[in-house]
Amino acid sequence: MSAASEAPSTVALIGNPNSGKTTLFNALTGANQRVGNYAGITAELKIGEAYTPHGRKLHVLDLPGCYSLRANSPDEKIALDALTGKLPGTAAPDLVVCVVDASNLERHLQLALQVIELGMPCVLALNMVDVAEKSGLRLDPAKLSEELGIPVVVMQANASKGIIELKQALRHPFPPSSSALWQKSDGDPEEARRTFIADICSLAARRPDAQTWSLSDKLDSVLLHWFTGWVAFIAVMFTVFWAIFSFASVPMDIIDSALGSFGGWVEEMLPEGDFRSLLVDGVIAGVGGVLVFLPQIILLFLFIGLLESSGYMARAAFLMDGVMAKAGLSGKAFLPLFSSYACAIPGVMATRTIDSAKERLVTIFVAPWMSCSARLPVYFLIVPLLLHESEGSWKQALILFGIYALGTATALVVARVLRGRLGPDKSANHFLLELPPYRRPQWRYIFRHVIDRAWSFVKKAGTIILGLSILLWALATYPKTDSKDPGEILAHSAMGRIGAFIEPAVKPLGFDGRTGTAILTSFAAREVVVSSLAIIFSVEDTDDDEETRSLLRDRIAAATWPDGRPLFTPLTLISLLVFFIYALQCLPTTAVVAREAGSWKWAIGQFLFMSGFAYAASLLVFQGGRLLGF
């Protein structure tokens, strides 16, 4: 065998949105890509490796879902370019696996026929046969294969059924390309495809005469209803926020306790000095201060995964279309914006499903105003200072809900203004959304995704936040003074001097130099402010977990101005909250925005606008509140 023939072949998975391509990709490659139950989960090309039964290596491409090869939206264009070998850095596929939903064959075959017409070797993966059989569809895969002239593999990718058979079909030599017999030289190609599909489906995928009333239909009669649908939507969203506050307290206590014990142990083991101070006051206080919020972040991703996997997310987009329209956006913008509640980066990337280029730009611009999970540590630090725990977690949940609502409402207002300034699209784009059947959540993928996100958070705590914590500790420790007074030590340090320098700029917002410095350190990653405050206010971990948990809050609550006035009044705390709701303090988001918008100008403009907006809003809240006598 020649060396050339040993080179791995490239196999592309193509299909309509929500046909199960990513599930199949994960099953083939053992990868862990995010799987959902709504269109547009895969917004970019994914590449993995698989092996044929004979051990031959294959490169597998998971293309974004598309309805046709006309490339109406950016993600469809990526799929088309990858298929035709025009995507830089990606080889043209040697074989295409057309993934079709067996219960929607009439629609999904449209794309499959267009791929076959390109003259590429194809295999049809007839996925979701369980759903098709349940709906009473009588499938004849052999007839389908005979009519299309390509191999057809019956599959249920989410249960790993048919994977071996598909790998058998990917053996060398690849099947020859079909000659697209349905196309005549003189006819309309669209018409020819439609007629062929109607004929083939009447032979190989016969539907029962009477339409059945499925469980999804029954659920939709409530969840899409103009009144009960909204009641359910608000209940779902409120439950998510309430659960994040309530359920996370036990694991948070455990993490706190463990960090406290560890800090105490380090303090006992090491002699007093700079190294002990670095570990206890810098590393453990800084990294631990952020790690303690891991349970809430896990819960948020778990709930978002559940909503996506069950199919409810598409219903939420349907309900929200009217609200989005008031902001000059469509219901399609809801999915990226909702994803941004977890993290703005996947949210910005999910905007590729939006057909209108201008709507997409506006959605990218406002997506970081959806309060992401990195803001949660800041909110969880400040909200309990405004409202004591004894007043009930539901009140805290209500405030958190209000914070999210404020960010969202502002985003929609700004979107409206911006959309108006950008003007109408060249061609009209209308709302069009597939509502997939409700499915049992795919727990395996949800858990894997949650673990991934949690690990990425821990990694960030161990790298960026650790680095900044050490830097902050050094700034707060050096140069040293002989004084024993903590206030004088801080004032003499580099941190104190930076704080004094920037204080005039942040004083109108109600903050002193220390808070200003903490904010300054959080512009690379907003959650760093928690570690910064822990280091600046000299919080150490203790053995008593309850004490450790509230120590930072106590220190903040007890902090004063030089004249003895409390530093953090309710008005100052609200001003601080408002600043963090609006400021864009995430460098990775700015980088992704530049890539997706195709312009650094847009990304830098967004950063400057959001920072300026945060400053102005915070100023308005503090000065307005003071004028009103608060």
Binding residues (CB under 8 A) for other proteins: these are 67-68, 70, 72, 101, 103-107, 110-111, 132, 135, 137, 190, 194, 197-198, 207, 211, 216-217, 220, 224, 226, 318, 321-322, 325, 331, 427-428, 430-437
User: Shortest distance, CB of residue 404 to other proteins, whole angstroms?
Assistant: 24
User: Shortest distance, CB of residue 131 to other proteins, whole angstroms?
Assistant: 9
Instruction: Please identify, using beta-carbon distances, which residue of 111 and 294 lies nearer to other proteins.
Output: 111
Angle between helices 357-366 and 587-597 (to 10 degrees): 170
Instruction: Please identify, using beta-carbon distances, which residue of 81 and 321 lies nearer to other proteins.
Output: 321
Six-digit token pair at 72? 């109406």
Instruction: Please identify, using beta-carbon distances, which residue of 32 and 214 lies nearer to other proteins.
Output: 214
User: Shortest distance, CB of residue 499 to other proteins, whole angstroms?
Assistant: 53
User: Shortest distance, CB of residue 107 to other proteins, whole angstroms?
Assistant: 4
d(CA 519, CA 526): 8
Element (H, E) at 523: none
**CB atoms closer than 10 angstroms to residue 71:** 14
CB distance 496 to 561 below 8 Å: no
User: Shortest distance, CB of residue 148 to other proteins, whole angstroms?
Assistant: 17
DSSP structure string for 528-587:
HHHHHHHHHTT----S-HHHHHHHHHHHHHH-B-TTS-BS--HHHHHHHHHHHHH---BH
User: Shortest distance, CB of residue 437 to other proteins, whole angstroms?
Assistant: 7
d(CA 219, CA 225): 10
DSSP structure string for 460-492:
HIIIIIHHHHHHHHHHHH-S--S---HHHHHHH
Q: Is 153 helix (H, G, I), strand (E, B) or coil?
A: strand
Six-digit token pair at 494? 């580099």
Instruction: Please identify, using beta-carbon distances, which residue of 217 and 488 lies nearer to other proteins.
Output: 217
CB distance 71 to 82 below 8 Å: no
Strands (E), 67-212: 95-101, 122-127, 138-139, 152-154, 205-206
Instruction: Please identify, using beta-carbon distances, which residue of 78 and 530 lies nearer to other proteins.
Output: 78
Amino acid sitting at position 82: A
User: Shortest distance, CB of residue 195 to other proteins, whole angstroms?
Assistant: 9
Instruction: Please identify, using beta-carbon distances, which residue of 24 and 137 lies nearer to other proteins.
Output: 137
Instruction: Please identify, using beta-carbon distances, which residue of 318 and 579 lies nearer to other proteins.
Output: 318
User: Shortest distance, CB of residue 155 to other proteins, whole angstroms?
Assistant: 17
Instruction: Please identify, using beta-carbon distances, which residue of 113 and 574 lies nearer to other proteins.
Output: 113
d(CA 91, CA 45): 12
User: Shortest distance, CB of residue 119 to other proteins, whole angstroms?
Assistant: 21
Q: Which contacts of 595-603 are long-range, i.e. CB under 8 A and separated by 24 or more positions?
A: 596/348, 596/349, 596/351, 596/352, 596/364, 597/361, 597/364, 602/361, 602/364, 602/365
Instruction: Please identify, using beta-carbon distances, which residue of 101 and 117 lies nearer to other proteins.
Output: 101
d(CA 480, CA 464): 26
Instruction: Please identify, using beta-carbon distances, which residue of 49 and 199 lies nearer to other proteins.
Output: 199
Instruction: Please identify, using beta-carbon distances, which residue of 103 and 371 lies nearer to other proteins.
Output: 103
User: Shortest distance, CB of residue 79 to other proteins, whole angstroms?
Assistant: 13
Six-digit token pair at 467? 């680095």
User: Shortest distance, CB of residue 104 to other proteins, whole angstroms?
Assistant: 5
User: Shortest distance, CB of residue 81 to other proteins, whole angstroms?
Assistant: 18
Q: What DSSP designation does 69 have?
A: T
Instruction: Please identify, using beta-carbon distances, which residue of 226 and 482 lies nearer to other proteins.
Output: 226
Using alpha carbons, list the distances in angstroms from residue 99 to 14, 18, 64, 130, 232: 6, 10, 12, 15, 34
d(CA 410, CA 617): 11
d(CA 39, CA 18): 5
